[in-house]
């Protein structure tokens, strides 16, 4: 199992995985192009969360393609 360090570089590893999934969703025409991912800098994560090894909040913005009007999607990552 890959251990991801709680550093800006480590969070970039997670961001790249999120981007990979979104690119596949776009290729499968589930979402439109123009999606984005915002990754928190480690320095912005409160100390108490860093002590718990929490990676902060990644914000994903994407528009569904096709006939679906909307969907609520919650993603929880754990190790």
State pLDDT tens for residues 15-43: 999 999 999 999 999 899 999 999 999 99
Q: Is the pTM of this model over 0.85?
A: no
What residue ranges do the domains of the chain occupy? 1-79
Cα separation, 40 vs 57, in Å, equals: 7
Distance of CA 52 to the CA centre of its chain: 19
Q: Each residue of 35-75: pLDDT tens digit?
A: 999 999 999 999 999 999 999 889 999 988 887 777 777 77
CA distances from residue 53 to 4, 35, 59 in whole angstroms, order as listed: 10, 27, 18
- Tell me which long-range contacts 66-70 makes (C-beta under 8 A, separation of at least 24): 66/29, 66/30
Q: For 64, list phi and psi in degrees, rounded to 5.
A: -65, 145
């Amino acid at each position: 199992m890959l251990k991801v360090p709680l550093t800006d570089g480590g969070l970039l590893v997670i961001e790249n995985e999120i981007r990979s999934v979104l690119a596949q969703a776009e290729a499968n025409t589930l979402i439109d192009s123009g999606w984005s991912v915002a990754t928190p800098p480690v320095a912005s994560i409160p100390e108490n969360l860093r002590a718990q090894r929490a990676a902060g909040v990644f914000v994903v913005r994407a528009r569904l393609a096709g006939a679906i009007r909307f969907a609520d999607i919650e993603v929880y990552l754990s190790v």
